[in-house]
Each structure stands twice: as C-alpha cells, then as structure tokens.
Structure 1
Amino acid sequence: MRYVEEYRDPGLARRIAAALAAEADPARRYRLMEFCGGHTHAICRYGLEDLLPRNVELIHGPGCPVCVLPVGRLDMAIDLALSRGVILCTFGDMMRVPGRDRRSLMRAKAEGADIRMVLGSADALRLARENPGREVVFFAIGFETTAPTTAVALLQAAAEGLRNFSVFCNHVLTPAAIAAILAAPETGEGRLRIDGFIGPGHVSTIIGSGPYEVFAALHRRPIVVAGFEPLDLMQAVLMLVRQMNEGRAAVETQFARAVTREGNRRALDLLQRVFVRRDGFEWRGLGHLPDSALAIAPDYAAFDAERRFGMAYQAVPDHKACACAEILRGVKKPADCRIFGTACTPDMPMGSCMVSPEGSCAAYYSYGRARMEAGA
C-alpha cells in the first residue's frame, strides 16, 4: 500500500459495483455479516450499501468489544472505583456507557471516583509509577487485537515489581462469537440466516485467518477477511458472492497486505504466556459463551484486580427499551429500535451501541443511515 486514496478510488468502486451487479444471481439472496464494528462504520460512512445489488444484504455483527461487554462487568468497575479508592484507568469510549440505573464511569467520576482516561496500558503503568501510594487498576477491554498490549503491561509490572498495579481483564475472543452466531437456530422469532462473513481485519492480524477454517468447513459458510477501506469491503463482498455462486465455502483473505494464515506469532506467544481461557463469559446480546474470554494466568495472579479486590460478577439486564442485544446479533438494525435517535442519542445514550466509536447505532446516527433508509 502506498496511498490510502488508492483504496478509495471512485472509478474502481464503480467497476466492482458493476461486477457485483453482473454476478449476483437475481434469483437468490446473499446475506453477509460484517463482524467488525470498524467495517460497519466504513460501510455507513462511504454509503457502500447503496452500491450493492438489492439482493445483497449486509448484516451488522457483534464486533465491538465495548458494545458486547455486559452491564454487570461495567458495574464491577464502577463499584471498584467508588468503593475502594483506586485510580481506575479506562479508554475514553467506556466513560459514557450506561450501567445499572444508567450510572456510567463518567457519572461515577463526577461523584468523586478517581477515574482517568488513558490511551493504553502504558499510561496506566506510568500512573502506577507516579503514584506508589495508590492502587492503580487498568480496565482492560478488547478483542485479540488489544490483548497483547495488556500482556506487555503485565510482564512489565512483574519485571518492575509494581505491586500497586493490577488489571481488570475483559478481553474476549472473536472465534467464540462467530461460533455462537453460526450455532443459533435459523428459524423462529429473532433468528436469521447468515450466508457468509466478512471477517475482522485487525483481529486477524493477530490470530491469522486459520482459526476461521473450522467454521467454513463445519457450517459451509464462506469467510473473507477484509481491510477497512471502501474498496477493501467492496472487493470482499464480490469475493463472497463468487464463492457462493460457485458453491464453495472457504476462508479467503482480501486484506493480504496485513493478514496471514498464521497470524502474529510473537503476539500469540504473549497471550499464551500471560493469559488463560475462561470457562465462560457473558456477552451482551449473545449470552454466556464457553471458552470466549481471557483471564490472567496464575503466574501473574498478583496483578489480577478481580483476585486482589475480591470482585464478583453479577448479571444485570439491559435497559428494557434498548435493542442493543438484538442489534449485536444482527436480528435488528439500529433504526428498528424504537428509541433510536429519540430517547437514545450519542449525547444521552441508553445503550452501548450508541456510545462506542465502533457501535452500529453510532454509525447509523453519525452518517445518517437511518434517515436514508426511512426515505427509501
């Protein structure tokens, strides 16, 4: 890649759109889920759905770690910050996510909790060094993409003997979510059929494309790992349509400039060294999924905030009016939620999908997708 503009060329986009129009069989439907929230935002920002044939439908998936974090895990962080006097370090997009009774980290900060926005785990380590008399907790969240940076922080804390530093680990694993979506019944209320997947680009730079091969083989669903520019996504859709037309179900990589089959070996070694798999973990929208999240390994238990502070998880239901759960499963689109854009806006969010920069509701609101669909 030399220039980003090469992946936003309107002429090339029209050529791919023409190829899609010629190759998409008008007698069938193509239901394709883009797993990653970054893909959803690119699709909405560039109006890519308007370039697709009407029988090619893009379904937005659960690929936003902030969105899939259940209310109960957020409440654990809020309670820790309010009751234990720690310095809680978190990413900015977690600050306004509403927890139980719509209490957020921002509201807890206003009530006196010492909550600080950071760019990453290195900032949390720095705060621990600068405040030796305070407990500093890093609220770690993300898919496999960000988990290696948390692993590095844990290793650094152990090497320096930073006993006032710990991690509240909420890293979740992408393949488990794909497995849950594919295992869901395809009939009945609130169900849908997925014919193919646009695989996550950033996650796949870490884990590679290999882990998706079992899904293609067992469920006969093609998967194409894509980049985040408009032409990346248009080409990925064309690759999926061609696979379906040919009766194939394989894993292909459109994002070959960044993704290999094996992934990033050094990053994967870090994950294996520092983390273990949890038996189960609750995902907003998908429920309790086995083998779907990471916990801190026993060798680094001294830096595990859940153990250090005796934190216990308690499930909390989502707000009754919020359709985040259905949106994350792809059963509904943001405009199908009855409070979208009215009682729920980015300034006054009712659910995580409206808060996160990768949330589907935020994408629809920011780029006017809901208004365009309403006028269609």
Structure 2
Amino acid sequence: MALEHNRDRHDPAIARHLADRITRTNKRPIRLMEVCGTHTVSIFRSGIRSLLPDTVSLLSGPGCPVCVTAQKEIDAFIKLTREPDTMVATFGDLIRVPGSGSSLQREKADGADVRIVYSTFDALALARQHPDKRVVFLGVGFETTAPTVAAAILAASQEGLKNFFVISAHKIVPPALTALATGKINIDGFLLPGHVSVIIGVDAYRPFFKAHQVPCVVAGFEPTDLLQGIAMLVDQIEAGAPALENAYARAVTDAGNVKAVEVMQQVFEVADADWRGIGTIASSGLAIREAYAAFDALNAFDITMQPVPEPKGCACGEILTGVKIPPQCPLYKTVCNPMAPVGPCMVSSEGTCAAYYRYHSTNKI
C-alpha cells in the first residue's frame, strides 16, 4: 500500500511499524539496490540503515547522473571550454568533477567562460544575452532532465537562435537495470527511482521485469516512503513472488508524463551510451536527432570523444555497480575527499562516496 497522505509520510509510528515489519518478515540475507542517487542520500540522512536487520543489505546503484558520466565525456566538456568565443553552461555538480588533466572549475579559474545555471532555460537566456558567443549547455542527466533540455532546443529552433548548442550525455535508466541484473553481483530486488518514474511511468520497466523477474518497487523519498518500498521488496522476496509495484502512486502513474516523453522523443533518439563503471550499454543514451543537428555541439565543434582510463586507484565504477562500498576504495578518505575529489562519486551531491563521507559516523554501514 502506498503512503498517500502527508501525515503518514512523516509519522514516526508508521516508520517504526514498517521497520518492525521488515525485521519480522525477513528470514534470510538479501541484497537490495536503490538505483537513485537521491534515494541514496535520503537513506543515509534519515538513518534507515540503522533500522534494518543485518540480513538486509542496501547497495547504491548508478543513479547519480554526474557519477555515471564517462571520463571521455568529462574530457570533452573540458575541451569545449578552450574553444574561442565559447561559453559553457553547466549544472553545479559537474564543475568540480576531475577530467584526465583538468576540471571545469580549473578551466574557469584559468579564464574560461564557464557559467553555473539552474535550468536549461538559463543557458538559453545566456545565448540570447550574448549573441557574440557560442553557448554550449552540458546535457547530463536521466529522463528527469532530458525533457527540459529537449524543450530548450525546441525553443531555440523556433526562435532561430544560431548560437545555442547542447552536448548530450544523457542516459536512460531501464537498460541499465538489465546490465545490473546480469552483472557481477546478485541483486535480489531494485528500489526504482521516483523522479525518473514520474516522467517515464511504471510501464517503462515492464519489459525489464518480464525478462528478468527481479522484484521491483518504485519508491518516494521520505523515510516512510523508502521503508515502505523496502518492506514491499522483502515481502516479494520472502513469498517468492516477484512483482513490479508502485509505492509512489501520489506522483507516479503507469503511463508517466506523456507530454514530457513526447517532447524528449521529438528531439532525441535512443543511442548506445558509455556508463562509468559499466561500459557501453546498448540503447541507453539519448542523441540529438538529425532534424535538430544544428544545435548539436558535436557537429558544431571539432570535439571527439576518445576512450580514456579511469583515475588510477579510483573505485567509482565498482561502487556504482554495487561491487564495492566506498570504504573499500583505497583512495577513500585518504587522497580522495570532498575538498580534493579523485572521482565523481565524491563530488556530486548525489554521489555514494559523498554520502558515506558525510553520514557514515551516524549510520550502520
């Protein structure tokens, strides 16, 4: 049963009841993966791990869009800052992610025109305000942000703007679930992302569920939402009855936001994409369609994405796939920390390493 009322989502008694239900129901070790970076942070911040029995392990998946952005894509972003008469617009989480030899923050300090924006339409406004500059928005994110990027490209096309561009490194979630389900570790159930599911709907996961029969529950972000999702997964696993369920019905429907998906599909087409830590996943990315090629930074600039190795010693890739947890990385809290990050998992506000670093002293790991 989904938690429909605000009072329920903030009721400590309901949270205790759900935690007791999980402990009472669970009889064997199980591994659950939250696929959303916001879930990871919420789980740590609310101390949910401390409420769970030792038999329930929570693994953090590749739900942080900055973290799964491939190293070659980060390097391409940095190269764009060195182009003449060019302004790069980006969300703040990307600014400190290390590339192979620099970062957007370092390039900005050296004089590059790098602007932090809060929406794609802020970048579009910069293009209007600076007609003498080529404005490039760094398109990173899942299905949550891709429709807004698509809408900005449509607006630029309708206005006839010639100086607005997007480099698309967008990823889509359902194909990644297949890679995780067939990966190196056994995952007993998935806590599916709430924000992404608002856009794509529960139906988008049905092909994956039909193929793999792994318990799946869409969950919200309040502590009781998360406990509800975990309890539903435990119930499925203990009953041997895998299902695709929605514990976030107040925001997520079967069909999702049809208009947002239509806008996204109008501008983008599905393409193969490289995910940090996973590699190339077929049909898991979004490329700008030929009809809007004039706004594709890969066409407008001489930028090629060459494969590059991950930072030496960094375990971000294994952390993103649940193979390791941050304390198992040799760099964690030694040379890698929020002030001097080596990998993106320590940079992003949704990064698993950043969450462990901030909350580990008050949570059961």
> 1:21 maps to which residue?
23
Query: Does 1:231 find its partner at 2:231?
Result: no
Quick one: distance in 2 between partners of 1:317 and 1:5? 49
Quick one: distance in 2 between partners of 1:4 and 1:163? 47
> 1:338 maps to which residue?
330
**Contact 1:82–1:112, Cα closer than 8 Å, also in 2:** no
Please show how residues 176-325 of structure 1 align to structure 2 within 5 Å: 176-184=175-183, 191-278=184-271, 280-325=272-317
**Normalising by structure 1, what TM-score?**
0.94
Quick one: distance in 2 between partners of 1:3 and 1:29? 32
> 1:166 maps to which residue?
165
> 1:114 maps to which residue?
113
Residue type of the partner of 1:115? V
Instruction: Provide the secondary structure at the position in 1 that maps to 2:140.
Output: strand
Distance 1:134-1:146 versus aligned 2 partners, 3 A rule: same
Instruction: Provide the secondary structure at the position in 1 that maps to 2:59.
Output: strand
Shift of 1:246: 1.6
State, as a whole percentage, how many aligned pairs show the same letter.
48
**Contact 1:85–1:113, Cα closer than 8 Å, also in 2:** no
Shift of 1:373: 5.1
Shift of 1:45: 0.5
Instruction: Provide the secondary structure at the position in 1 that maps to 2:62.
Output: strand
Unmatched segments (≥5 aa) in structure 2: none
Instruction: Provide the secondary structure at the position in 2 that maps to 1:202.
Output: helix
Unmatched segments (≥5 aa) in structure 1: 185-190
**Normalising by structure 2, what TM-score?**
0.96
Please show how residues 91-102 of structure 1 align to structure 2 within 5 Å: 91-101=91-101
Deviations 1:204-262 (A, max 9, x none): 00010112222222222110000011000101011011111221111100011000111
Quick one: distance in 1 between partners of 2:213 and 2:166? 39
Deviations 1:88-120 (A, max 9, x none): 00011100000103x110001111110000001
> 2:152 maps to which residue?
153
Quick one: distance in 2 between partners of 1:276 and 1:334? 35
Shift of 1:3: 7.7
Displacement over 6 Å in runs of 4+:
none
> 2:75 maps to which residue?
75
Quick one: distance in 1 between partners of 2:54 and 2:4? 33
How well do the aligned residues superpose, as a CA RMSD in angstroms? 1.5
Quick one: distance in 1 between partners of 2:138 and 2:357? 27
Quick one: distance in 1 between partners of 2:238 and 2:364? 28
Instruction: Provide the secondary structure at the position in 2 that maps to 1:277.
Output: strand
Deviations 1:278-310 (A, max 9, x none): 1x2111011011111001111111111111113
